[in-house]
Every structure is written in C-alpha cells, then in structure tokens.
Amino acid sequence: MKPLIVLNLKTYLEGTGEGAVRIARACKEVGEASGIEIAIAPQFCDIYRVASQVDVPVYSQHLDGVGAGSFTGHAFAKCIKDAGAVGTLINHSECRLKLADIEASVTAAKGEGLRTIICTNNIATTAAAAALGPDYVAVEPPELIGSGIPVSKADPEVVTGSVAAVERIDKAVKVLCGAGISKGEDLKAAIELGSVGVLLASGIVKAKDPKAALEDLVSLI
C-alpha cells in the first residue's frame, strides 16, 4: 500500500492564491513521479481555484456538521464538495471541536461522499475518533506541530499506540501521523511505526523550494 501524504497549507501566505496552485502542481508532479498520493488542503477560498486548475486530491481544512439553512459562517459539506474537494480534515489542533461536533462533521462529510481525516493528539482521543468511523485518524501531538522535531522521533509510542488502538476498534480506519514531519527519514519512520502516511504543513509550504522538499520527503519510500 502506497503512503498518503496530506499537505495542509493552513493560512501561510506562501500557500494562498496562486501560491496554492503552484504548490498543488508540485504535489501532482512529485506524486506522479513517485507513485505516492499527495493531497493538498488549501484555505476555503482556494479550494475551487486549486481543484479547477490542478488534478490533485483537494481536502478542506475543516467542515461543519450543518445542513442547508440558516448557518451563516459555517463550512457546508455540499459546497465544499461542489468546490472540488474530495475530503476534509476535522478537529485539527488549530480548529478543535467537541466530540458531538466531530461526529456531526463526519456524518455530514460522509453524506456528500467526502473522505474524512479526524485529527487527534494522543492515543485516547485517537481511539475515540476511530469509533466514529472516519477514513483516517491523524495523530499529532500539538507541542510538536511546527517544531521541526518529528513525532516519529520525539514520541514514537503515540504512533504505535494509536495504530494498535485503532486496529482494535475498526480495522477499516487508517492512521496518519503528523507534527514536525518534513524529511524523507520522517516519512520512512512514520511508515515503519505502522501509519499509512503523514499530515504535514510548514516543512513543505514554507520551504524555499516546496517541490524539492516534497521530492526529499518521498525519496526513501
């Protein structure tokens, strides 16, 4: 099984507007050359811009569990799907939700056929997330996000423990890991710990040459 790499552009200026498109093209080129699926999660305003110009899997950075109606300011699953996204992040550490809201978001996303990645911060929350039946859980200790210190080195037990916990609950759910991931050795270690891929951001988005950084990331797989 080839790894899945999900690149979160957050609100980094380097990943906005045409910058998002340039990074998406780098994801497509490196993904095609390596045979690895590399998806991108731009800001809401850039989902259509990226999806309409680059043939790359696009994820929303968030999705609310609301339907059509009076929900001003919410991220509506149907509109996210119509904009060209194939999936969504849910409960990122920078956009935390209560458990009931996470479940509602997963249900809304599934209703539109969107893939779901629930972000978690430890083994216990990973187990709880797996019980909601997403496609993936992405475990990211918040203290390591953006640190440059990969979770696969700083806290490998949170990855192996999350993989074991998810397998006990729902074997169909796959585990990604994140926080501090930026180099080929980080992705290799993540796979060796039992995850099927990584969720990452600044190590690629803020690199001087995002394409070269992506090429390094996949170089050992």
pLDDT of 134-182, one tens digit each?
999 999 876 666 656 666 776 788 889 999 999 999 999 999 998 778 8
Across residues 194-221, what is the average pLDDT?
A: 94
Contact 65, 104 (CB under 8 A): yes
CA distance 97 to 103: 10
- The C-alpha angle with vertex 215 and arms to 151 and 119, in degrees rounded to 5, equals 35
Mean pLDDT across the chain: 93
- Quote the pLDDT of residue 155: 72
Active-site hit among 32, 62, 92, 157:
92
Taking alpha carbons only, the member of 115, 135, 126 closest to residue 58 is 115
The DSSP string of 54-115 is: --S-BEES---S--SSS-TT---HHHHHHTT-SEEEES-TTS---HHHHHHHHHHHHHTT-E
More confident residue, 102 or 151: 102
Read off the pTM.
Answer: 0.95
Residue entry with tokens 């790499």? 5
- Quote the pLDDT of residue 154: 67
Whether residue 14 lies in the annotated active site: no
Strands (DSSP E) contained in 133-200 are 136-139, 174-178, 197-200
Per the structure block, which two tokens stand in for 60? 């929303």
In CATH, 4-217 is 3.20.20.70: yes
CA distance 151 to 144: 7
Domain boundaries, the chain: 4-217
Sorted by sequence, the CB contacts under 8 Å of residue 154 that are 6+ apart come out as: 141, 144, 180
Express each pLDDT in 10-40 by its tens digit: 999 999 999 999 999 999 999 999 999 999 9
CA distances from 31 to 54, 67, 145, 211 (A): 12, 34, 24, 10
Active-site hit among 14, 32, 140, 185:
140
CA distance 214 to 160: 25
Whether residue 74 lies in the annotated active site: no
Express each pLDDT in 63-94 by its tens digit: 999 999 999 999 999 999 999 999 999 999 99
CA distance 1 to 131: 23
Q: Supply the angle between the helices 123-130 and 156-169 in degrees, to the nearest 10.
A: 30
User: What are φ and ψ of residue 208, in 5° steps?
Assistant: -60, -35
E strand or H helix at 31, and its extent? helix 18-34
Sorted by sequence, the CB contacts under 8 Å of residue 202 that are 6+ apart come out as: 10, 12, 146, 182
CA distance 113 to 174: 17
Confidence class for position 116, pLDDT limits 50, 70, 90: very high
C-alpha 103, offset from chain centre: 17
